[in-house]
Amino acid sequence: MSGLSNHPFVKMNGLGNEILVVDMRPDPRRISAADARAAAAAVAYDQLMAIYPPRSDGTDAFVRIFNNDGSEAGACGNGMRCVADILLSESGRAALAVETPAGVLACWPGEGRLTATVDMGIPRLRWDEIPLAAPAADTRAIDVQVEVAGWPALRSPSAVSMGNPHAVFFVDDLQAYDLGRLGPLVEHHPAFPEGVNVSLASVTGRDRLRVVTWERGAGLTRACGSAACAALVCAVRIGAAARAATVTLPGGDLGIVWRADDHVLMTGPVAYEFEGRFDHAADASGGGAR
């Protein structure tokens, strides 16, 4: 039986990043890659956030994160805001600590209703932390190039990990590139042994960036919170932006701050769409939701 059979879910989104939240705390069954793929066939999502009981002292929950291809991710900023809103509303507390595969993240309410702030932690900048396949003396611009006939080549991205690996290409015109075709080439480039999230970023002011992202394991997305964080960090590292900026994604704006203590804070909205329940056949053979 699937770990999600007969299990309720909440469909949410963060700036159009489609998030499926399942609360596994009452019945912490294991979710497999096949379960996650079957869930995506039943209810389309970009990331599935599975909330489990805390496994470490001082934390309020443990969250596993699945992409819609069944692979697991270490971080998902928009998904964490959705989880944070659920847990903060449930507890009535002013702040929570949620453990993810990338580490423990602090979460607290934003200034407005249905907004949340997540401390995404400290960026990992060394080549072996991202990770890259080979040493790179300066991850602000690594030796990677991809090209599709008829479109400009993408060259020398900045690389960083925000709990998951990111390659950020700084370009003047986001529309000049076919990210739907270039994204998979970068995601699976041999320079990135664990794959990579691929973003195009345009700096339109010291405190404003525009970003589009191809997500590892999910594809083109209207918003990727960790990519927004990665883009700001990389822009600061090349001297193109201040440490606090509005990052505009196809789905809307996120406020990103890279604090003096090196922690990156992400603030933005969440939205509730609907609730449902997977049926008993929601396993590796298919199934649906109701």
Q: Find the helix packing angle between 77-91 and 225-237, rounded to 10°.
A: 120
C-alpha–C-alpha distance, residues 138 and 126, integer Å: 8
Q: Is residue 288 part of a domain?
A: no
Q: Are residues 19 and 117 in the same domain?
A: yes
Q: Is residue 2 part of a domain?
A: no
Question: pLDDT tens-digit profile of 229-275?
Answer: 999 999 999 999 999 999 999 999 999 999 999 999 999 999 999 99
pLDDT the model gives residue 111 = 83
Q: Are residues 243 and 162 in the same domain?
A: yes
pLDDT the model gives residue 279 = 81
Question: pLDDT tens-digit profile of 139-163?
Answer: 999 999 999 888 899 999 999 999 9
Q: Are residues 162 and 213 in the same domain?
A: yes
Q: Is residue 130 part of a domain?
A: no
> Residue 283 — pLDDT band, cuts 50, 70, 90?
very low
Is 60's pLDDT higher than 70?
Answer: yes
Q: Are residues 207 and 246 in the same domain?
A: yes
CA separation, residue 12 to residues 23, 44, 85, 103, 162 (Å): 13, 11, 11, 23, 22
Q: Are residues 70 and 151 in the same domain?
A: no
Q: What is the mean pLDDT of residues 30-46?
A: 94
Write out the residue range of the structural domain in which residue 113 sits.
8-121+271-277
Q: Are residues 24 and 111 in the same domain?
A: yes
Query: Whole-model pTM?
Result: 0.92
Q: Are residues 169 and 213 in the same domain?
A: yes
Q: Are residues 86 and 12 in the same domain?
A: yes
Q: Are residues 110 and 39 in the same domain?
A: yes
pLDDT the model gives residue 62 = 98
Helices (H), the chain: 33-42, 77-91, 179-187, 225-237
In eight-state DSSP terms, residue 290 is -
Q: Are residues 106 and 150 in the same domain?
A: no
Q: What is the number of alpha carbons within 13 Å of residue 231 lying toward its C-beta?
A: 34
Q: Catalytic positions, please?
A: 76, 224
> Residue 287 — pLDDT band, cuts 50, 70, 90?
very low
Greater pLDDT, 279 or 62? 62
Is 290's pLDDT higher than 70?
Answer: no
Q: Are residues 113 and 38 in the same domain?
A: yes
In eight-state DSSP terms, residue 69 is T
CATH number reported for the structural domain that contains residue 196 in this entry: 3.10.310.10
C-alpha–C-alpha distance, residues 255 and 119, integer Å: 12
The number of folded domains in the chain is 2
Question: pLDDT tens-digit profile of 159-190?
Answer: 999 999 999 999 999 999 999 999 999 999 99
Q: What is the mean pLDDT of residues 284-290?
A: 52
Q: Is residue 283 part of a domain?
A: no
Question: pLDDT tens-digit profile of 203-217?
Answer: 999 999 999 999 999
pLDDT the model gives residue 1 = 43
Is 285's pLDDT higher than 60?
Answer: no
Please, which residues have CB within 8 angstroms of residue 277's CB and are 6 or more apart in sequence?
6, 7, 8, 9, 289, 290
Q: Is residue 139 part of a domain?
A: no
Is 20's pLDDT higher than 60?
Answer: yes
pLDDT the model gives residue 288 = 61
pLDDT the model gives residue 174 = 96
Q: What percent of the chain has pLDDT over 90?
A: 89
> Residue 280 — pLDDT band, cuts 50, 70, 90?
low
